[in-house]
Structures are given as C-alpha cells and as structure tokens.
Chains A and B, each alone.
Chain A
C-alpha cells in the first residue's frame, strides 16, 4: 500500500516538475537565447580585436557608417557629409534624435573622442590618423576631419564592419586611455547592456533600448534600420560543449547557435525544428602564416615551396568537410570582394606536390624542422595544422607539430625568439571577409619587418611602397590595379598562404524569423513566432 502511494506521489511530483520546466524550455517569446561562438571576457571592443567583443559591441553601440551586404558604405548615425574637392576636408552631420542609454544626446564631441581612441588601437585607424592633421566640432551635431594629404579610405575606415569597429561611445568613456579597458558600457545602440546580470563565463544580458531611433532602410550588413523586437537577449556563455549545444537547441533550451561545428551541419539541415538561414554572402578565409624571422621560412624560395604544397581543397575538405560550405579561391582578397584577382596566384593554384618538391629542392632547404602551432580548442581551425604538417612532410619538409590551446598559441606567436627557444615557424588561422577585403585591412600584408603590427614580420620595401600608394589613391580603378600589384607581390614574397574560403554555419529554431544578410553576427530584426509544439 505505502509503496504504491509513494510511487504515485513521486510520479505526480515528477510530472509537475516536468510540466513547469517544459514550459520554460519553449522560451519566453520576448527573450532571445543565443549561444555565441566563444566566451565573452573583454567588454571593450576597442581594446581587443576578438570577434566576441565586437559582437557584444554591435549590440550596445552604434556606428557612424555601416557596410551593407554588397560592401557598399551607407550612413548610419551620420545624416549627411561633404568632402572637399582636394579630398582633404571632410565634414559630417549627425542624425537627429540620437541618444545614449543614460538619456544624454549623442554629440559630435562624443564622435570625435571615440574615433581618436579607436585610432590608437585599430590598424586601419592608426593608418588613418597618420593622415589626419586635426579634427574639430563646429556645432554639437557636426564634426570635421582635416587631412594633411588626400587619403583614399576615410569612409572605409569609418564604416569598418569588423575588428576593431569604430563604435561611438560617450566622450567621458572614450577619453579612457586606449590601453586600459573601459568600465562604463553606456552606448547608443539598439540594446543596452544589463550590467548587474552579467556573469563572466555564465551569461551576458541585453535589454531593448526603447529610445533607439532606427533608420528607415531595411537592415543589410551593419547598415540600415536596426529594429530590436525582443525585450531581452541573452548570450549563453556557459554552454561550450559542441554536442551539448546541439542537443540543447534541438530540445528548445536555446534559440540560436552562432557557430555550428560542420560535423552537425547535416543533422541541422535535416531537423524540421531547426533552420539554417543564409546570413552571409561572404564567409571566412583560412590562412597559413610564416615566421619570416627564422629558418627555414626566412628564405622566400622556401616559403614559395610551402605555398605550392598547400592545395586548398585538402584543407577545406578536412576542416570543413561539407561541400556546400566551402570553396577554394586563388585570391588573397576574398572572392566576391572588390579587390579580388588571380594576380600572382599560379604558384598555388596551378601547382601540385611534385612541383612543390622541386621548388623545395631548388631552394636549398637545409632540413630545419618547421614548428607548427596547433590550437586544440578552436573547432573551426584545429584540423588545419594537421593537414599542413602532412602536406609539408610530403613535400620534403621536416615538421614538428606542437599542440597547445589557443591562449597559449596567442601568447607564443607574439614571441620573436627562435623556434627552438619558444618561438614558432607557422600557425594557421581564419579571417572574416571584412578583415581582409583590402590591402589596408589585411594585416598579413604589412611588411615593415620587425615593426610590422601583425605576427610573422615580413620585410619588403616594395610591398610597403605599393601599400603607401594605395592609401593615398582616391581613384577606384587605380586602386584596383594597385591591389593586383600588391597581391602579386605578396605571392612573390610569400607573406602567407591563403587556404580557401568557407562559411560559418549559424543555426536557429524554426520559430525565429527576420534573418538578413549580416556578413557577421548581428541580432536585430529577429522575431520569435509561436512555438512549433
């Protein structure tokens, strides 16, 4: 008697528990639960180039200009602007009604201060600031930039869609030293940051900004109207296990997974409760970076032999695997971007392993082992080093494949020491299209030797001349020619090896609608419909 009553009681409790929580699993229609691609540790998107901090920035800040899905620059916070005939004086007028989350209006002083802070950290910003003589704010809603000489990329800089994005912050925040992280997260974006609910490694929360005045155009890329339909957006920072993420999405415990491992792509496509939206025209590019300071890659001929050995298809197949998600592209500037071309790419595109072996023999390679750093914890690039190692070995190189986590790798690649003293010879990484679309933004091209800002430190005066010309050129046709020359030189000198293009897969529940081409991860315009069960 007692046993069956107890069992009945237990069953009732279980049912109640299940019901309470099943309802929760559907999710509040006013709350969007996202699993981002990595943990959010740094809340200052100027201080770091990490994509996660950039995505956080897009939620709570706004930008002067945006870049739409066709890479056209469109005004965002700016109402109108003028450019002097000699291209040296630029004047901008801000839109009406722009307010920060604390109610204060956005003024031109805020804009200038933000640009100056950004110009101390961002590679394109730093380049821009070398042209800038001064900036001033004649009225509270206009500001001007005075240039020493004509500069061909002013608007590209202000519209820069990816790290570092010139987000506009209040002057008091933007006045923070550029090498210290900010502590005040007031912005003027479509969402505001709910600071008291931010738990590092657990979740970050964003609330709809009711005072935000979106533009009238449709959203496209980082341009257009940013309408927030959700009252609340949560980034789930605790859920890092790839399988658990998928299981959670299938059960409806989360709404969107930002970066789905390609292993799950087929499952996601087949599952009727999920949808894989098209949110990017341009994807990402893998690249292999040489350390130009030490043997064997201090020799351009050896670098070219390695580039010849690196057939893109093998990398893409191993790392991405799903044919519809990748494509080889001979251009260093992503296929589909304005400066893409095939200049100089024959060394890789028209090569094979035999050719690579010959090139290596002819280069005088002396058998120094190549130390390749492999990050074990980044699913999107972790297989590349294994493929690189195998290909180099087939070409005749000696290889030392060293595994470590991404954080260690990031620390180690900053070292200029010899590989056997804690340095490195090669690492592989991935860039989003926006970050490598032009000779100014592609950090891998900078060839100032040890003074180069990105790791690898190539040294080539001709390359620097070409880049300098490009920065000053204002004529689009001439820019394209220069870009081709730059790419050809890059292949000749062997700055790095492009390894093919691929798309990141974002997947969401069927109830989510309002997807648009973001070329990144932007979370406005989305809505949640009725649950499907």
Chain B
C-alpha cells in the first residue's frame, strides 16, 4: 500500500513538470505586453521600458522560467503584475469561495443524482428511466450562463427568494453563506446531476444483472437493501471515478458561474488575470488547479480500496 502510494506520488512529478512548462509557454508566447498595460493610459514608451525592466521581463525566457519554477518549488509563486499582491495570497483569498461553491455543487449533485440513477436503473425502460435520460442529455446541452440568467430572473428577481449575486464568507455567518451560495450551486450542479445520474444508472444496471443480486433477492432481502447494499455498493467504483472527474472539471463551470453571480473566486481570478496578461497569476493559478486535479485523481484511486475490497495495491 505504501509502496503504491510512493510510486503514485513519484509518478505525478513528471506530470507537474510538464504542466509547469506548458503553462509557462502559454503565457510567454503571447503578443500582449503587461508592462504597457500596467503603465496606464498616458504612459510614454520610456516609462513602459522601465516598468518592463522592473518586472524582469527583459531577461531570456529560459532564465525567467528557471527563476519562476525554482521559486514555485518553495511555495513562492511570485507577485501579480496587476494587483500588488503575492500570487499565493491572491489564491488564498479566493480559495474559500471556489471551494465552497464546488463542495456545495458536488454535494447537491451527488445527493440528487445517485438516487435518481438508482431509481432509473431499478425501473429500467420505464417512463422515469426515459425521462431521466432525456433530461440528462438536456443538462449537457444548455450552457451554464443561460441557465444562470434564467434562474436569477425567475427565482431571485420575480420570486425574490434568493439573492441575485454575491458571496458571504463563512466567518460572517453560516446562514448568509448558504443563502448566497444556493442558487449558484444549483445552477452549476445541473450538468453534474446529468452526468452522475447517467453513470450511476449504467453501473447499477450492470450490477443488477449479476448473480449475487438474484441470490440476494432469493434470500428475501427487502428491495431497498438489495439496491443500496449490493447493487450500489458494487457500482461504487465507476461512480467514484466520475465524481472525481466531475470535481476536477468543476473549474470550467466555476469560471462562468463566478462571473455571473459575482463570486470572487479562483475562476474569476483566472479570467481577470488572462485579460490583464498577468503572467504570474495565470501561471500560479493554472499550476494550482493542475496540482489539485492530480491530487484528486490520487484520492479517487485510493478510494477504490475503500469501495472494492478486491482492489489491493
């Protein structure tokens, strides 16, 4: 087990290195000039050149990469060109909103999707099954921001049930935090409900075809026990996989949701940083996200041990 862990962790190092190089290249092979942007609307060309030197942008690319990566290994992701703050501090500020949004979204998605999927598999071919399949395809097809605008208009404005925008820190009270987060989470969870429900349905369906199910039913176990205790438990591995993928992929939806609901999270930070050609922040945030993705994959792999005792490392 420890052997496996060690090997897996070691395997992530070359991946992170590749990510670092890719991320650095993406930002450097660009025609935008952060020095000119920072200098402001009325700056002269000499002023811009001075700022460029200050930021170290006149060094050769390899040197710049070396400096940046070396610092990153010690936890220093540099200072943002745009805000005068350390990238690590910026990420720290923005972590809570994004994590909260992601956590609540996954929680809603799993709590809604798994029962739906189980139900659809149980009543395979029936109207519920077809309805769920239809809804799930629809869930993939509507862009998040369209759904967001519709929900805001109906629920926040017309019905006045929830706020239109904003994020409240947990430290200022759990109820306001939840109040502001419900609508964005519901908006974002639709895609994941669709995805998780489908995979749940598929895997439970497969499990239901197995012999041990017939045995369990023959033993006279209540159907609920059969479904949850046996079918779902055996279907857990693929479901966990897709939840893992879903968590790691929340970034895409988070970016748009944070934009519409004015949540000051990491997704917004990245978009703003990209538009401002704020290289250190772009590099830092993408590196951070990739690291999280790799970490989650590792955790999901480990969770298989928990779900499926046959899997041993």
- Direct contact between the two chains A and B in their complex (CB within 8 A): yes
Q: Are A253 and B33 in contact (CB under 8 A)?
A: no
Is chain A's interface secondary structure helix, strand, loop, or mixed overall?
loop
Cβ of A42 under 8 Å from chain B: yes
Q: Are A123 and B93 in contact (CB under 8 A)?
A: no
Q: A20-B176, A20-B179 are in contact. Are A414 and B85 (CB under 8 A)?
A: no
Cβ of B82 under 8 Å from chain A: yes
Which residues of B have CB within 8 Å of A414? 33, 36, 39, 43, 45, 48
Expressed in whole angstroms, the Cα–Cα distance for A337 and B272 within the complex equals 37
**Stretch among B157-165, B187-195, B205-213 lining the A interface:** B157-165
Q: A21-B176, A411-B277 are in contact. Are A238 and B164 (CB under 8 A)?
A: no
Q: Which of A14, A39, A253 is in CB contact (< 8 Å) with B166?
A: A253
Cβ of A299 under 8 Å from chain B: no
Q: Are B31 and A247 in contact (CB under 8 A)?
A: no
Q: Which of A123, A251, A405, A410 is in CB contact (< 8 Å) with B36?
A: A410
12 A-B residue pairs with CB within 8 Å: A14-B161, A20-B176, A21-B179, A49-B40, A199-B264, A201-B272, A241-B259, A247-B152, A247-B157, A414-B39, A416-B45, A454-B42
Q: Which B residues between 143 and 178 are near A, CB-CB below 8 angstroms?
A: 149, 152, 156-157, 160-161, 163-167, 173, 175-176, 178
Q: Are A202 and B93 in contact (CB under 8 A)?
A: yes
Q: Are B93 and A199 in contact (CB under 8 A)?
A: yes
Interface centre among B31, B41, B160 (most CB of A within 10 A): B41
Q: Which residue of A lies closest to B51 (CB)?
A: A179
Q: Are A238 and B264 in contact (CB under 8 A)?
A: yes
Which residues does A use to contact B, with CB under 8 Å?
14, 16-18, 20-21, 24-25, 39, 41-43, 47-50, 123, 163, 179-181, 183, 199-203, 236-241, 243-244, 247-248, 250-251, 253, 377, 405, 407-408, 410-412, 414-416, 422, 429, 443, 453-454
Q: Which residue of A lies closest to B173 (CB)?
A: A20
Cβ of B141 under 8 Å from chain A: no
Min CB distance A122 to B, Å, is 8
Which residues does B use to contact A, with CB under 8 Å?
31-34, 36-45, 47-48, 50-51, 54, 80, 82-85, 90, 93-94, 149, 152, 156-157, 160-161, 163-167, 173, 175-176, 178-180, 259-264, 268-269, 272, 275-277
Which residues of B have CB within 8 Å of A410? 36-37, 40-41
Q: Are A377 and B268 in contact (CB under 8 A)?
A: no
Q: Which residue of B lies closest to A20 (CB)?
A: B175
Expressed in whole angstroms, the Cα–Cα distance for A200 and B93 within the complex equals 9
Q: Are A243 and B149 in contact (CB under 8 A)?
A: yes
Which residues of A have CB within 8 Å of B275? 377, 405, 407
Which residues of A have CB within 8 Å of B41? 48-50, 410, 429
Expressed in whole angstroms, the Cα–Cα distance for A408 and B152 within the complex equals 32
Min CB distance B127 to A, Å, is 22
Q: Which of B39, B43, B82, B173 is in CB contact (< 8 Å) with A41?
A: B82
Which residues of B have CB within 8 Å of A416? 45
Interface centre among B44, B80, B157 (most CB of A within 10 A): B44
Q: Are A244 and B45 in contact (CB under 8 A)?
A: no
Q: Are A251 and B164 in contact (CB under 8 A)?
A: yes
Min CB distance B70 to A, Å, is 24
Expressed in whole angstroms, the Cα–Cα distance for A190 and B32 within the complex equals 39
Q: Are A244 and B261 in contact (CB under 8 A)?
A: yes
Which residues of A have CB within 8 Å of B84? 42-43, 181, 183
Q: Are A251 and B166 in contact (CB under 8 A)?
A: no
Q: Are B166 and A248 in contact (CB under 8 A)?
A: yes
Q: Are A407 and B42 in contact (CB under 8 A)?
A: no
Expressed in whole angstroms, the Cα–Cα distance for A179 and B94 within the complex equals 29
Expressed in whole angstroms, the Cα–Cα distance for A181 and B54 within the complex equals 11
Q: Which residue of A lies closest to B157 (CB)?
A: A247
Which residues of B have CB within 8 Å of A253? 163-166
Interface centre among B43, B157, B262 (most CB of A within 10 A): B262
Q: Which of B31, B94, B260 is in CB contact (< 8 Å) with A422?
A: B31
Q: A251-B157, A414-B48 are in contact. Are A39 and B272 (CB under 8 A)?
A: yes
Q: Are A24 and B40 in contact (CB under 8 A)?
A: no
Q: Which of A203, A247, A412 is in CB contact (< 8 Å) with B156?
A: A247
Q: Are A238 and B262 in contact (CB under 8 A)?
A: yes
Q: Which residue of A lies closest to B275 (CB)?
A: A405
Which residues of B have CB within 8 Å of A20? 173, 175-176, 179
Q: A201-B268, A410-B36, A411-B277 are in contact. Are A41 and B83 (CB under 8 A)?
A: yes
Which residues of A have CB within 8 Å of B259? 240-241
14 additional A-B residue pairs with CB within 8 Å, beyond A200-B93, A407-B275: A20-B175, A20-B179, A21-B163, A21-B176, A179-B54, A200-B83, A201-B83, A241-B165, A247-B152, A248-B163, A248-B164, A408-B277, A412-B33, A415-B33
Q: Are B93 and A239 in contact (CB under 8 A)?
A: no
